[in-house]
Amino acid sequence: MTASSQRSAIITGGSGGIGRAAALRLADDGVRVLIHYSGNAQAAQETADAVVVAGGTAVVFGGDVADEDQMQEMFAAAIEAFGGIDVVVNTAGIMPLAPIAAMDLEIFDRIQRTNVRGTFVVNQLAARQLRAGGAIINFSTSMTRLQMPGYGAYAASKGAVEAMTLILARELRGRDITVNAIAPGPTATPLFFTGKTQEQIDAIAKLNPMERLGTPEDIAEAVAFLAGPGRWINGQVLFANGGAA
């Protein structure tokens, strides 16, 4: 494969968890990756180093996904490094939990800014700049179906992500660009474990028939499918949760 024909991807939130697993999995398919981070430059560089050690190509970029100027700079950096962009994977997100009645509205606004506005900003730029044959992969959550107490603000933000995903897929008619969302179930990432007791973790792990938490690698396989061979999957929400809902 020549450099000009090799596919390239931006992965927001690529410094850890699902983002890191997705970067490594796409790199295994020969995709060059830009690994975005918002605060942990060291973790992003460690992910990039792991990609390079495995024989892939990676660069890193730090910025706020909800800031359109910073994200435009990120897209420009990817184009400069790779010559174009084929895949955008939006794993960046935050998940503070509280009952709706108790949720601090400043925290609620922060969740919506990162998860909704951030996805919208990156999708807008991707819609303008992805090459034909490309894929936009957003991230929702199975909590929109599981409806567990405490997840109201987070699930609301991901409901918005699903809506924009389905509409953008139809707005890109004729462009040969797919737009889908992955809705993971509970997945063993630092974001999931934060603030939970072992008893809570064990109970949540039992929700699906597989009776375990998902792994970042489980979700990365879904990313690789939508980024590569899954060209006839478009305008869909793929629930990757072991059968929990």
CA dist list (Å): 135 to 23, 84, 112, 169: 15, 13, 24, 10
Residue 5: beta bridge partners?
Answer: none
| d(C-alpha 111, C-alpha 27), whole Å | 30
Cα–Cα distance, 123 to 158 (Å, whole number): 14
Q: CA 113 → CA 152, 201, 221, distances in Å?
A: 15, 27, 28
From the list 75, 108, 151, 154, the catalytic residue is: 154
Is 154 a catalytic site residue? Answer: yes
Q: Exposed, middle or buried by CB within 10 Å (0-12, 13-18, 19+), for 156?
A: middle
210-to-135, 142, 162, 219 alpha-carbon distances in Å: 29, 15, 25, 15
Residue 57 token pair? 């190509």
Catalytic residues, by residue number, are: 154
